[in-house]
Amino acid sequence: MSNDKNTVPPTLQDVAEALGMHKSTVSYALSGKGTLSVGTRNRILSAARDMGYVPNPIAQRLASGHRNPAVFIFSGVLDVGLATEKILLIQRELTGEGFEVPIYTCYESADTERRTQAAQIRQICRQGPRAIICAGQMLDHSVFEELREYQSTGGHVVSYDSAVPLTCDQVIFDREHNAYIAAKYLLERGHRNIGLGLPSNIEWISKNYMQPERPKGFLRAVVECGATVNDEWIFHHSTYERGGEELAKRFMEMKGRPTGLCIVNDYVALAFMVTVMRHGIRIPEDLSVIGHDNQTIADYCPVPLTSATQPAEEIAHAVVKMLLDRLNGNDEPARSVTIAGRVIERQSVSGLE
């Protein structure tokens, strides 16, 4: 008999109990080892087949002497910034522990294409890695359905970045807090007319399983300070340098402009600053700007950029520590760690009298 998606797959122990045999006897039969009689082996194979038992590839690899099989990293996005940096930091640390760490990525944004993500993660799971590390952004619900099945065979999953709808160990970066402290930094310096620049893919994220964390944090800071929220000052634009140019164009076309601007991603902020300064807008005298992520480029902006950090090394190390702990036998319920950033002050923000 076969199992549907809502049924827990039978285990080796289930097969043994159904036959009234010891688990090791069933294991020998299924692996082809041992000195069992042909009749006993065939009986076990037939029962396992009828029950829909599928051998655990992870257990098989360990039984074959592979003490450090691969740990796969799966991500919905690679970029020139922190998404890729975190992946490489995780890979480097795990490689130092003796693991193979291949990286798989499958960026999808259109409904008709998201099935590709599910197909790829399904193929990854079939390879039987000892664990899968999953970057939580830009993934469809179907990915987590596949990961649940992988967990049911004994596989370990650790997710990081944003919270995901999966019962697994998670390292969460608090993006809401990041946006909150950035907006609060401007507000505490007297700015009451402030805006927020967001990459347009955040709209896609909010339509899936994640909340629009950065807008929530920004709005919370504004409301707490008694300032007015102006919907016209919530900008959506492309990512990186092109997005900064788009944001600058829209900003300069406005008659009523904010005096302070929170811009998600330091590369977007860089392109924005260069473009508006070429048109005579002075930073920070005419406009204060605070970025997000505190990437190296923040030091090299035309005016050094104040930015709210996204601590990539801390996030990556927390992922590796949590995974190694799990692989070393920790069987406690799924855990969650939240990591928050802080503001790094430079020269792109001035106070209002």
Select from 3.40.720, 1.10.760, 1.10.260, 1.20.950 the CATH code of 12-55: 1.10.260
Pairing of strands 234-237, 306-309: unpaired
- What DSSP line would sit under 85-105, residue for residue? HHHHHHHHHHHHTT----EEE
Reported as a single tens digit per residue, the pLDDT across 150-187 is 999 889 999 999 899 999 999 999 999 999 999 999 99
Rounded to 5°, the CA angle 262-340-192 comes to: 30
89's CB contacts (< 8 A; 6+ apart) are 312, 313, 316, 317
What confidence score (pLDDT) does residue 209 get? 42
Fold: same for 71-173+312-339 and 175-310: yes
pTM of the model: 0.77
Q: What is the CATH number of domain 71-173+312-339?
A: 3.40.50.2300
**Which among 90, 216, 172 has a CA at the least distance from the CA of 339?**
172
Domain positions in the chain: 12-55, 71-173+312-339, 175-310
pLDDT at residue 24 in the model = 84
List the chain residues with pLDDT less than 50. Answer: 1-6, 67-68, 110-112, 203-211
Looking at residue 114, its pLDDT comes to: 59
pLDDT value of residue 205? 43
The type of residue at 198 is L
Q: How far is CA 84 from the centre of its chain?
A: 11
65-104 residues labelled b (16+ CB within 10 A) or e (exposed): eeeebbbbbbbbbeeebbbbbbbebbbebbeeeebebebe
**Which class in CATH covers the domain with range 175-310?**
alpha beta
For the chain, give the longest Cα–Cα distance. Answer: 91
Residue 54: predicted pLDDT: 74
Residue 302 and residue 282 in contact, taking contact as beta carbons nearer than 8 Å:
no
The pLDDT, as a whole number, for residue 2 is: 45
What letters, b where the CB count within 10 A reaches 16 and e where it falls short, cover 187-213?
Answer: bebebebbbbbbbebbeebeeebbebb
Alpha-carbon gap, residue 226 to 223, rounded angstroms: 5
Residue 301: alpha-carbon gap to chain centroid: 27
Convert the pLDDT of each residue in 227-281 to its tens digit: 988 999 999 998 889 999 999 999 999 989 999 999 999 999 999 999 999 999 9
| 8 A C-beta contact, residue 154 and residue 315 | no
